[in-house]
Structure formats: C-alpha cells, structure tokens
Structure 1
C-alpha cells in the first residue's frame, strides 16, 4: 500500500497505520513545518517528504492507494474569525481536492480520508459537494479524555441515502471507553516543579473562581458521613461530612469572547496556540471557610462557618448551605498539563518518541489528530484495499 499524507504534521496517520499493523510500502508526506518534519523523520526515517502541498503532483509518485489529510482549519473554526475559504490556509482544502482527482485518475480504487473542524453548515456543505460525500462527526471524548469534535469525510466505507442517493461516510462511532482526565494524569511525584503555577495573583484568581462555582459545592463523602437527621420539615436536614476532595479539573482562562471556566472529566480541545498556558490543572481538598464574621450573638461564627482541622471532619452541612457554602482550596495544586499528559489526550502511544522542544510538542499535539479515532476509521480499510 502506498500512502500520501497531506499536511502531515507529526504524522499521526503513520502512527495509526503502525498501530493497526498495516504494511505500508511507501509513505509520502507533504509538510512545510521544519520541526514537524524533523519529528516525523525521528520516528519514521523512511518517510518520503515532499514539501509544499501546492507543488505535489500525483503523476510524479507511484500509484497511491490511500490519500489522507487534515487541511488547515483556522478559517473554519468557530474559535477564530471564520474567514472560511477567504483564509489562505483554509483555501488549501482545494489542493487536497486537486490531488485527490489526480490520484483517482491513476487508481480508481484509491480511498481517502479528510479531517476538519466542526464548522458552519454552509461551508461543510461546500466541502461535501467538492468531495462528493458527507462527513461523519466524531468526538474524541469517546476514546480519550478530551472534548474534540471533528468532521471526517471518507469513502473507506459509505452508504447512500435519500431520493437522489446522497453518499455519506459510513464509519460507525467508536465505543465510549469512559476515559476521564484523572485517567491520563501523571503521578504528582513524577511531575517536575516547573509545571506548577507559583504566581500568587494567578492562584488567588483561580481560587476565587472556584469559590463562585457551584459545581465545586461540598459533597458528602460516604467514608466520612455521620448521621442523617430529618425533622418534620425537610429544611431541617443536616449531614455530617469530612473534608471534600476536588476531582481534577481544567481551568480555562478567559480570552476573547470566551469567558473561560472549569472543565471536569474531559478537557477542552487541545489547540496549537499556548493551550498549556491557558488551560490549567486544578486539584486539591476543600473545607468550609472561616468568613471572619461574628455570629451567634457575636460569640463565634455559626457552626457551618467555622474552620476545622483538615485532619478531622467538618461541621454539619445544613441544607441551606449545602450548595453554596464558601470553601477554600487546601493542600491542592494548580499546574500546567505536561507534554506527556497532552500526548495521552491525543492517544499518542508510548513508543512514539520526542526529539523536539516542549514548545513544539504542545504545538504539534494541538495541530494533530486523536490517533485512536484515526485508527478506528482506517481499521475499515482491511475490507477495501486489496
């Protein structure tokens, strides 16, 4: 099998093919980023680099069996200015179309896969018209700890629908593996100090946001629960609980029209632009916070407002405060995700080695594919390519 990969980046397509155990005779890659090319050659020295996609001609290559690519998406992304085909980067999609026609002219049995971001339906339809097929939408969250919705156009497996026989990509969704953020984190004793946030203003800002976020309200820890008492009125219910644990969360800093916020369970989509600086890992323990006021006729704070030892248990949580009682982060940490953790979000296998700076690793991972999604799609090649 001969493979041509356009906009190859760190060669996630080649990673997926190797993971699937598929024999590739020649892997041709079109890429212009020097760091990405070096990284690919570091792992796959047999890769034939072709350079600028605008100079690639299929007739100059051996017969291609599989064409893959993820044309630049900045013009289509809802996170950008949405210049669409007016953005010269997104206009490179038409180079993919040109080369696809050249490949098909030589090998009518060739197959293709194109990936791009979720976009305005109008522009999705234009791409579908040029390729003659409608895409399947797959969220990487099914196979990783990352929310990353992408569109995949492919004729590897198709179905026809409707009166006019519209062709659709017929790749079934992968099974949900239930992978969460906590599953991809490195043990804290393996995380270098350089990843931890030490700037006081940043720490205090995130703590203030924590205290205003109802999703971080104290929850009953069954291992520390005491008696549950309910009077004639349900509002008299009280619970006794201990220090509550915060499930690891990602705090996304506000930027542009994005107000930021907290993401639990799954991370927001990795991007190539300083993602690790703008999305911080927050974890720790919380207890009821002393608010400094004198209550109970000035003698002491109400019980639910006292500070108790982290090693002990907190006072009873009244139903009136259970969802809104102020709290403080104790013995916690705020840090950046490591390159290893970001690679796990993109399901990069451990055998893939890095030979570039961490800055370039973050950038390539943000631009790259979720390998397990690509593996899932390409796994259907076994029944198509002879």
Structure 2
C-alpha cells in the first residue's frame, strides 16, 4: 500500500493504518509545520516528507493507492462568522486548501481517498460533496473516545458505517496524580476568576464530573466543558496524557514536545480510532 497524506500533522493516519492492520510500503506526507513533523519522524522515520502542497505538481510519486487528508477547517467551522472580512468558507485563507486536495486527487487518481473536515454550513458541504462525487458520513468521536467531536468524512472506501459505541467515560481516563498535575494548573488571575468563577461553581465543575467533554481544542478554555478540570482550589487544563487519550493516541506520543506544543498538535489531530474504523473497510476491500 502506497499512501499519500496531505496536511499530515502528527501522522495519525499512520497510527490508524497500523491499528487497521494495513501494511504500508511507502508513506508520503505533505506538512509544513516543523513541530508535527518532529513527532512524525520520531515515530515513523521512514516517512517521506514532501513539503508544501502548493508544489504538488513537481512531486515525483509512484501510483498512489490511498490519498488521505484533513484540509484546514478554520474558515468552515460553524463557530465562525460566515460573512467575515477575511473571506470565510472555501475561499478563506486556510480552508481554500481543499482545492489543492482536489487537484492532487484528480492528478494522482488514487484508488481510494478519504477527506475529513468539520461540520459546516450546508452550502459548503454540498460543494465538497459535488466535487468529490460522494456524500460524507458524520461520525462523532464520542463513540470511541471521551470527547464530543463531530466530523464529516468523505470517502470512496465502500461500506463505511458508524463505529460501535464504546461507552467511553472521561472519569475512567482522568489523571489523579497531584504532583504530575501541578504542571497543568491554571493561575487564578482576576480576569480568569471573573470569566470562569470559582473552581467549584464555575467552568471547571463542568469537566470535573463529566462523562464526555467537548471537542479537544488548541485552547482548552475556549469553550464550556472543553478542558478545565477542578484542581487545587481552582482549575487545571487537561494533561498531555489526557489529551492523547482523548484523540485515542498512544500515551506518550507527543512526549518530545512542550505542553503547549502538544496541546496544539493534538487539537489539530484526528481521532485515531475513528480513522482506523473507516480504514478497516479498506483492508477488507484490498484482501478480497
């Protein structure tokens, strides 16, 4: 299997392929951020890094069996204003990179493809579906993880369905080592006290006893119930270990990074077990 991964990030695709039992002969990755590349090359030193997708026409590649990627979602997210001065949607500065994915798909003509993105305004979803020629399946990561993370997956891999609900509870994964957790404590500054309230009655309480948390994000205090846990009289962020487990990554996968670096790359990552679930259908197709 020869795989081309666009916007590869920390190579969750390679972790998912392993879990799906799919052997990879060559894995080509397009990524420009040095931090996630550092993670990828630590775990998968044979990864062939191609650089910026804008230069894809010059890539010297063999026939690709599987094209995967999650094009940037910032301009498509429902949490953003559609009519902003920066040009939201598929023409936004970052989300317009979907068109580069499409160019690669049409140029390389892989046997199978998979594209992931956020839930978005229906008009943008319909454009992507029309261009790819398939309808997406909406999967919430909460079926295999303790986080609510709804994502759309467009693929020509046959037979893709919803994963079985694993009934994952955040409380079963929550760290309790007080010494370890000190590094994730949030300072109770006046502005934070005003914004969040006390640890018992404010935002921290929502995650402290929650079965599921809201989507793991680059900044855990961005949304209610997205990562502030009651701790030591106030709040703490989700630990690196908790973040990794929330995306069903192996514990220690981002150990070579600082906490803030890990928080960012994990927030941008895929939920591995969702991707592995989709790719299991590919394994059956290849072996049949």
Q: CA deviation at 1:65?
A: 0.3
Q: How much does 1:86 deviate?
A: 2.1
CA contact (8 A) 2:200 2:234 kept: no
Distance 1:150 1:125 in 2: 15
Counterpart position of 1:95: 100
95 and 211 in structure 1: CA distance in 2 versus 1, 3 angstrom threshold: closer
Q: Which structure features the higher share of helix residues?
A: 2
Match in the other structure for 2:132: 131
Match of 1:281 in 2: 228
Answer whether contact 1:145 1:265 (CA < 8 A) is retained: yes
SS for the counterpart of 2:117 is strand
Map of 1:144 onto structure 2? 145
Gaps of 5+ in 2: 83-87
Q: Say which is worse superposed, 116-125 or 174-183, in terms of deviation.
A: 174-183
Q: Tell me, yes or no, if structure 1 residue 199 matches structure 2 residue 145.
A: no
* TM-score of the two chains, using structure 2 as the length reference: 0.88
1:267 paired to 2:272: no
Cα distance change of structure 1 residues 87 and 353 upon mapping to structure 2, 3 Å threshold: closer
Whole-angstrom CA distance in 1 between matches of 2:222 and 2:74: 20
* Contact 1:13 1:371 survives alignment (8 Å): yes
Aligned-pair distance for 1:280? 4.6
Q: CA RMSD in A?
A: 2.6
In 1, Cα distance between equivalents of 2:202 and 2:174 = 26
| Residue from 169, 187, 191 that aligns with 1:180 | 169
Partner of 2:46: 46
**Conserved? CA contact 1:249–1:265, under 8 Å:** no
Larger radius of gyration: 1
Q: Secondary structure at the match of 1:191?
A: helix
User: TM (normalized to structure 1)?
Assistant: 0.67
What CA distance in whole angstroms lies between the structure 2 residues aligned with 1:208 and 1:131? 48
CA contact (8 A) 1:197 1:335 kept: yes
Name the CA distance, whole Å, in 2 between partners of 1:72 and 1:55: 17
- Alignment match, 1:384: 285
Q: Which runs of 5+ in 1 are unaligned?
A: 158-169, 214-245, 252-262, 285-330
Deviation for aligned residue 1:210: 5.3
Give runs of aligned pairs for residues 348-367 of structure 1, distance below 5 A: 348-350=249-251, 352-367=253-268
Change (3 A) 1:208 1:45: closer
1:138-179 alpha-carbon deviations (Å, 9 max, x no partner)? 00011101010000001111xxxxxxxxxxxx4111111111
More strand by percentage: 1
What is the Cα deviation at residue 208 of structure 1?
A: 5.5
Confirm or deny: 8 A CA contact 2:229 2:238 kept in the other structure: no
- Alpha-carbon deviation of 1:358? 1.6
Q: Shift of the alpha carbon at 1:135?
A: 0.3
Cα distance in 2, alignment partners of residues 150 and 51 from structure 1: 26
- SS of 2:207 mapped into structure 1: strand
SS at match of 1:80: coil
Q: CA deviation at 1:58?
A: 8.2
CA contact (8 A) 2:244 2:253 kept: no
- 1:9 to partner: Cα distance: 0.3
| Aligned counterpart, 2:276 | 375
CA pair 138-280 structure 1, distance change in 2 beyond 3 A: closer
